[in-house]
């Protein structure tokens, strides 16, 4: 299948390698001419995904119109803050019914819209799917066994995307809970910042386990209130994605959190990581959703205070630990 990947970051490049391996014609677009020139001459993204050598069959371009018009399937892989502007630039070139698979994770801060909603608003003629799960580009690009989920409101779209991507190292499941998938994918990045901050403070495995467990409780609480399915948050796009993002040094959110825990400012941490730290952009949006749906998100709230109010990280942890006493999962009847 002729496939265009809009975005040449680490995830877009990893998926390009995967789709090429599966026998599809692949074109990768970037707005940055120097990036495209590097990919054309080196067949490797030296800064974002070093060590993953790309086939000379993959095409690289800065021509967005050709990328959209000449490919049947489009993969949107730009950072979440640029989803709307990129979708708006694509709109006039997208055919009726053309499939766009969003693989970015986040919530739009000023509208509180999920990214699939943003794409549909900007490109109403497209069929939109989302694909997410515990998938570090560094491992997918090297064809390490990975499981992921594709979701769409159209079952035929989900099946097509599943068939395009699935192979012996990349297992693709289907879901019809796009909302739950996207909330889990976006908010896990905020919890991963908290996990990194705890690492930076020198805390241990007990702390990490507590953050992951209580973090998924917060994500699930909000997601269900918004209309997501409980099962989604116990699956790959919920607890699975949260575990990998909180535990791995591939995670830019965890790495940024570590630097903040060690005393660096949010900006200093983001500059050092030198990649988009999606959790920073989703943190405020998460609190907006919490207010809209009247849901408590204590971990995410403290992350916001650390990021945007310069609250000392150790103080935030202390406040979390000394919150009002309560049952873990609600009072359980003796019957």
Instruction: List, by residue number, the catalytic residues.
Output: 188
Q: How far apart are CA 135 and CA 245, in angstroms?
A: 9
How many residues can be counted in the chain?
335
Q: How far apart are CA 16 and CA 7, in angstroms?
A: 10
Residue 132 CB coordination number (10 Å): 24
279, two tokens: 């959790």
Q: How far apart are CA 15 and CA 4, in angstroms?
A: 11
Strands 2-6 and 25-29: parallel
Could you write out the DSSP letters of every residue in 155-193?
HHHHHHHHHHH-BTTEEEEEES-HHHHHHHHHHHHHHHH
Residues 253 and 245: beta-carbon distance below 8 Å:
yes
Residue pointed to by tokens 């973090």: 215
Q: How far apart are CA 6 and CA 208, in angstroms?
A: 35
Could you write out the DSSP letters of every residue in 184-198?
HHHHHHHHHHHHHHH
CA angle 224, 103, 123 (to 5 degrees): 90
């Amino acid at each position: 299948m002729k496939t265009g990947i809009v975005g040449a970051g680490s995830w877009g490049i990893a998926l390009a390698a995967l789709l090429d391996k599966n026998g599809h014609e692949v074109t990768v677009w970037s707005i940055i001419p120097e990036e495209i020139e590097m990919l054309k001459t080196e067949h490797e993204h030296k800064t974002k995904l070093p060590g993953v050598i790309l086939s000379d069959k993959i095409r690289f371009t800065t021509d967005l119109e050709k990328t959209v018009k000449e490919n049947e399937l489009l993969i949107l892989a730009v950072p979440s803050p640029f989803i709307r502007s990129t979708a708006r630039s694509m709109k006039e070139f997208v055919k009726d019914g053309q499939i766009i698979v969003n693989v970015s994770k986040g919530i739009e801060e000023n509208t509180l819209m999920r990214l699939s909603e943003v794409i549909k608003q900007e490109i109403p003629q497209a069929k939109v799917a989302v694909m997410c799960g515990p998938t570090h580009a560094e491992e997918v690009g090297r064809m390490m066994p990975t499981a992921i989920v594709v979701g769409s409101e159209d079952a035929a779209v989900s099946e097509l995307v599943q068939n395009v991507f699935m192979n012996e190292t990349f297992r693709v499941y289907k879901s019809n809970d796009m909302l739950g998938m996207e909330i889990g994918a976006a908010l896990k990045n905020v919890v991963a910042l908290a996990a990194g901050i705890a690492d930076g403070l020198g805390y241990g495995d007990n702390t990490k386990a507590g953050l992951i467990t209580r973090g998924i409780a917060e994500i699930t609480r909000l997601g269900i209130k918004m209309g997501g399915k409980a099962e989604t948050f116990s699956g790959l796009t919920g607890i699975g994605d949260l575990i990998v993002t909180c535990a791995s040094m591939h995670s830019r959110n965890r790495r940024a959190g570590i630097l903040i825990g060690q005393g660096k400012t949010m900006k200093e941490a983001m500059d050092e990581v030198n990649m988009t730290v999606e959790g920073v952009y989703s943190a405020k949006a998460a609190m907006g959703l919490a207010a809209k749906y009247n849901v408590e998100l204590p971990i995410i709230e403290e992350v916001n205070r650390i990021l945007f109010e310069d609250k000392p990280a150790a103080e935030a942890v202390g406040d979390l630990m000394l919150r009002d006493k309560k049952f873990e999962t609600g009072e359980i009847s003796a019957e």
